[in-house]
Structure 1
Amino acid sequence: MILSYTNFTTQDLRGDSVEQLFTNIEADLRVVDGDRVIYAEVLFPVAELAAELSRWLGASPTRSADFELDSMSFAEKGAVRIVRGDEGWRFGSVFSPDVWGRPLDDGELQAEIREFAARVRSDVTAAGIDPGFLDAENRG
């Protein structure tokens, strides 16, 4: 399972509010499991996803609740979902409801989220933006 992106951009950024940063720091997102595409979206709000995944990951060591991205950029909740099943955690999307990734154990899930969030943080910093808005204590 790989959560990745290409074409990182801040071209539509018109301010430094958290809302502007979350909705206008974008990239072409891909969630893949081997050769199978679970979800792909052009100009996806990757900063918002990284921040919300990190918040969810840090909320509970056992993560009893599933994750559904409630994005400012989408009318529907769940553009990216992580649901716990009997065999482990699975990535999916409300936009492709019948497509799910293979089950991941807790360690695999944590590693994938941390790697994704670290890459977003690095790209935000390289773009000359203070990445502090990605931290839970700086969000509402």
Structure 2
Amino acid sequence: MRKKFLQNCKNLLQERYVSDVVYCSDKELIGRAAEWARSLIQREVRGPGDLPRAMKRLERRYDLPERTLWNLRYRPNKLIASVYLRLQAAYEAETKRQIEMLKHELELTKAATGEDATTSSAIRAAEALVASVAPPEISE
């Protein structure tokens, strides 16, 4: 009797959970989300064999389910709308973080080279790159 009661509770909770979830199956949106996931994972992986741990770190940092990252990497077919929005926010945050790191490294390089920094073609090219790079506009 207890087992039957628990199974009924489980079924009821699953039905309620599924009814509150909006799934997205648009191929263009799924493709965009898969690209964001791929990019986040690529930036997070520290070396060979680190893929599962990289996904766990992304899960902790951005509250993205590890299983969703795996699905987007290997078999993208549907996605929960709220996860799509979290993935979008994570991608934007990571892109901004990378741009800030690039700016900081450029400042360190300029400080280390001193007066010759303005005449160095490599530094001028890096400054042009930083000036041209802006966080990508994600249209919805």
Shared fold (TM-score, shorter chain, > 0.5): no
Task: Look at both structures and tell me which one has the larger radius of gyration over its CA atoms.
Answer: 2
Point out the structure with the larger helix share.
2
Point out the structure with the larger strand share.
1
- Give the TM-score of the pair, scaled to structure 1: 0.29
Greater length-normalized contact order (CA 8 Å, ≥ 6 residues apart): 2
